Structure 1
Amino acid sequence: MERRKFIKNLSATATLSSFIGGASFAESLVAKAAEPTFTLDFAPHFGMFKNSAGDGLVEQLEFMADQGFRSLEDNGLLQRSVADQSKIGETIARLEMRMGVFVVDGGQNWQTSLTTGKQEFMDVFLKTCRDSVEAAKRVNAKWMTVVPGFYDRNMPLGIQTGNVIEAMKRGAEIFEPHGLTMVMEPLSDTPELFLRHSDQTHMICKAVGSPSCKILYDIYHMQRNEGNLIASMERCWDEIAYIQIGDNPGRKEPGTGEINYANVFKWIHEKGFEGICGMEHGNAEPGKSGEEKLIEAYRNVDVKA
C-alpha cells in the first residue's frame, strides 16, 4: 500500500486496532505501508520512475514521496508552462518535499557567450535570471544552475574569467534580494567548456562574494575531470551549496561504476550537509524492474540512521 493511501485511511485503521490489539497494531501497519525516508536528501527528476508512476507530473511526485524521497529537481522547469510550474509547486508543498535546481536557460544559447563580455549576451542572461525569480516563487525553489559556456581561444583566460565574474555579480544582484542562489556547475562534457574544475569555480565564487553565487559540485563530472573527490570537496566546501550524483563510467545510479558512494555520502553527512543531492543520471536498466533496482541502489549507499 502506498503511503498517501494509507494515511488517508489511518482513522479507519485506528478504529480497527481498538478491537485487535490497540495502537501497536496500527503502528506496525504504518511501518509496513511507508518506505523509510532517505537520510540524505536525494532528489530524482521527472521521467526517472515513469514505468512505475506513469507520465503525470503529480503521479510521479507522489511515487517519489512514497519511496522516501524528499525533493525533486527539474532542469527544464523554465521551459514548462506557468500552469505546470504551479502544479509542481502545489504538489511539492502538499507532499512536504523540497525543490532542487532548475537551469537558468534563456533558450538563446547565451551559455556559450558569457565568457566574451558582450552586452547582448549579458542582457539575455539577466532577463533569464529575472524570469527565474518568478519561476522559483511558483515552486519554492532556492537554487538555480548556471553554466558560463565555452572557452574562447581568441581571448586570454584572465579576461574571460573577469567577464564571467562580472556576469555572476550582475546575476547575484537579481537573486540576492529574494534569498535565491545561483550554483555554478563545472562540467566534463567537452574540454572546450570554460568552467571545468572545482578550484576554478571556488575562485570565481570568492571574487563574486555573494551568498547568491555558489558551487554545484556534480560528483560525476568532478570524478572525470579531477578525481580525489573527498579532498577536492574539502578544499571547496565553504562555497558548495548543492551536490549532484552519477556514477562513472556511464552516468548511472551509484554502484554501477567506480565511485565509492557509500564513503562519499558518509563524508558529506558527517560534514553536516543539509542540502539536496540531485540524482542527475540515467537508469542503468530499463523498465519498472530497473527503477526498483535504482531505488535499491540508493538504499545500499545511503547513510544509516
Structure 2
Amino acid sequence: MKRRDFVKNTALSSGVITLGGVVTYASEKNKKTSATTFNLKYAPHFGMFKQHAGENLIDQLNFMADQGFTAFEDNGLMSRDVAMQTSIGETLAKRGMTMGVFVVDKGGNMANTLAAGKQQHLDIFLDGCKRAVEVAKRVNAKWMTVVPGAFERKLPIGVQDANVIEALKRAAEIFEPHGLVMVLEPLSDSPDLYLQNSDQTYMICKAVDSPSCKILFDIYHMQKTEGNLIHNMDLTWDEIAYIQIGDNPGRNEPTTGEINYKNVFKFIYEKGFDGVLGMEHGNSMSGKEGETAVIEAYKSVDRFL
C-alpha cells in the first residue's frame, strides 16, 4: 500500500481528522454515545458545554442531544441573525429537541416598565412581541419570557397592577392567533422589580385571562423570595407553563446548594408536567470537569422514581 493511501485509510478508520492538531466536536460527533434517558425535559443553553463541544453553536446543540437532553433554551435568541435562528430551528427539528424560552426584547428587565402606564413603554413592548412571533416561527418555539420591568413608585400598587394587566392583554392579542405563550417571570434580582412573587404572578395571569399569558416558575428565584417551593408551585400550578432551574446559593447546577431537587422534580413529574425545565444556571466548576459535573448532577436528581 502506498504511504498516502495508508495515511488516508488510517484517518478514515479512526473517525477523527484533525486540523492543525485540534480535534473538534464536529469531527467526533459520529462516535457512539451513551445518552441518558431523562424523565423530564431539561433544557441547557449555549455555553454550558462549550469546553466539550467547542464554540460552534450547532455543535453545542448536537452535544446536548447526544447527552440525552431533549430541550434547549436561549435567552438571547432574538439578538441572533436570521441565518443562525434558522439553523438552530433546523437542528432542533433534526434532533427531536423542544425549543424552550427566549426573552422578548423590550429593552431589559428593569427598562420600559409596564407598571408606569406610559404609551412609549407599551409601544416598545408590543413591538418586541410582534418581532418575537417571527423569531418563534424559525425555531418552532412556543414560550417567550416577559419581565414587566420595575415599579413605578409614584403610583399606587393597584394602579400599577392595572397598567401591567392591560399591557399584557394587548400582548396576548398578538400571541394568541399563533398559539404562543408569554411566560411571566418573577425575579429576585432587585427590590425595584415589579414582579417578585408567584402569588402576585398568579393574580396577574388570572386577570389577563388568556392561554397566552402564564407563569414561568424559576425555582432559584422563588427559593430566594418565598421558599416553600412545592407548596407554592401547587397553589399556582394551573397557571404554570414553564419552569427554570438553579440551586441556591450560587445559582449553579442541582446538588450544589440547599434545594432538594430530587423531591422537587418528583413533584413536577407526578403533576404530569410535559413542558420544559430550563437549566438557567451556571456551572459550579470550570472546564470539562465542570461540564461533566453538570451532566452527572442531572442524572442524580432525575433518579426520583
Could you state the TM-score of these two structures normalised by the residue count of structure 1?
0.89
Structure 1 residue 62 corresponds to structure 2 residue 62: yes
Aligned to 2:151, the other structure's residue is in SS state coil
How far the C-alpha of 1:110 sits from its partner, in A, is 7.5
Contact 1:110 1:125 in 2 (8 A): no
* 1:5 corresponds to which of 25, 30, 33: 30
Aligned to 2:231, the other structure's residue is in SS state helix
How far the C-alpha of 1:304 sits from its partner, in A, is 4.8
How far the C-alpha of 1:34 sits from its partner, in A, is 2.8
Q: Which residue of 2 aligns with 1:261?
A: 261
Structure 1 residue 169 corresponds to structure 2 residue 194: no
How far the C-alpha of 1:178 sits from its partner, in A, is 0.3
Q: Which residue of 2 aligns with 1:250?
A: 250
Aligned to 1:186, the other structure's residue is in SS state coil
Aligned to 1:242, the other structure's residue is in SS state strand
Structure 1 residue 291 corresponds to structure 2 residue 255: no
How far the C-alpha of 1:109 sits from its partner, in A, is 7.0
Contact 1:143 1:180 in 2 (8 A): yes
User: 1 CA distance for matches of 2:112 and 2:273?
Assistant: 32
Q: Which residue of 1 aligns with 2:300?
A: 300
Aligned to 1:120, the other structure's residue is in SS state helix
CA 1:198/1:108 → structure 2, altered by over 3 Å: closer, same or farther? closer
* 1:293 maps to amino acid: A
Q: Which residue of 2 aligns with 1:229?
A: 229
The correspondence of residues 1-305 of structure 1 with structure 2, limited to 5 A, is: 5=30, 33-107=33-107, 111-304=111-304
User: 2 CA distance for matches of 1:139 and 1:57?
Assistant: 14
User: 2 CA distance for matches of 1:114 and 1:143?
Assistant: 20
User: 1 CA distance for matches of 2:283 and 2:150?
Assistant: 28
Identity %: 64
How far the C-alpha of 1:5 sits from its partner, in A, is 2.0
CA 1:189/1:256 → structure 2, altered by over 3 Å: closer, same or farther? same
User: 2 CA distance for matches of 1:36 and 1:153?
Assistant: 49
CA 1:225/1:65 → structure 2, altered by over 3 Å: closer, same or farther? same
Q: Which moved more, 1:40-49 or 1:99-108?
A: 99-108
Aligned-residue CA RMSD (Å): 1.6
How far the C-alpha of 1:303 sits from its partner, in A, is 4.1
Contact 2:150 2:193 in 1 (8 A): yes
How far the C-alpha of 1:106 sits from its partner, in A, is 3.1
Aligned to 1:5, the other structure's residue is in SS state coil
Q: Which residue of 2 aligns with 1:11?
A: none
Please give the per-residue CA displacement for 1:199-229, whole angstroms capped at 9, x wherever unaligned: 0000000000000000000000000000000
For structure 2, list consecutive stretches of 5 or more residues without a partner in the other structure.
1-14, 16-24
Contact 1:219 1:229 in 2 (8 A): yes
CA 1:248/1:56 → structure 2, altered by over 3 Å: closer, same or farther? same
Aligned to 2:296, the other structure's residue is in SS state helix
* 1:249 maps to amino acid: P
Aligned to 2:214, the other structure's residue is in SS state strand
Aligned to 1:187, the other structure's residue is in SS state coil
Contact 1:269 1:303 in 2 (8 A): no
Please give the per-residue CA displacement for 1:230-251, whole angstroms capped at 9, x wherever unaligned: 0000000000000000000000
Contact 1:110 1:121 in 2 (8 A): no
Q: Which residue of 1 aligns with 2:18?
A: none
Contact 1:110 1:124 in 2 (8 A): no
User: 2 CA distance for matches of 1:213 and 1:109?
Assistant: 17
User: 2 CA distance for matches of 1:304 and 1:197?
Assistant: 27
Q: Between Structure 1 and Structure 2, how many residues are aligned? A: 280
Aligned to 1:182, the other structure's residue is in SS state strand
User: 1 CA distance for matches of 2:165 and 2:150?
Assistant: 15
How far the C-alpha of 1:105 sits from its partner, in A, is 1.3
User: 2 CA distance for matches of 1:128 and 1:302?
Assistant: 36
Contact 1:265 1:303 in 2 (8 A): no
User: 1 CA distance for matches of 2:71 and 2:84?
Assistant: 17
Could you state the TM-score of these two structures normalised by the residue count of structure 2?
0.89
Please give the per-residue CA displacement for 1:60-107, whole angstroms capped at 9, x wherever unaligned: 000000000001100000000011100100111111101000000133
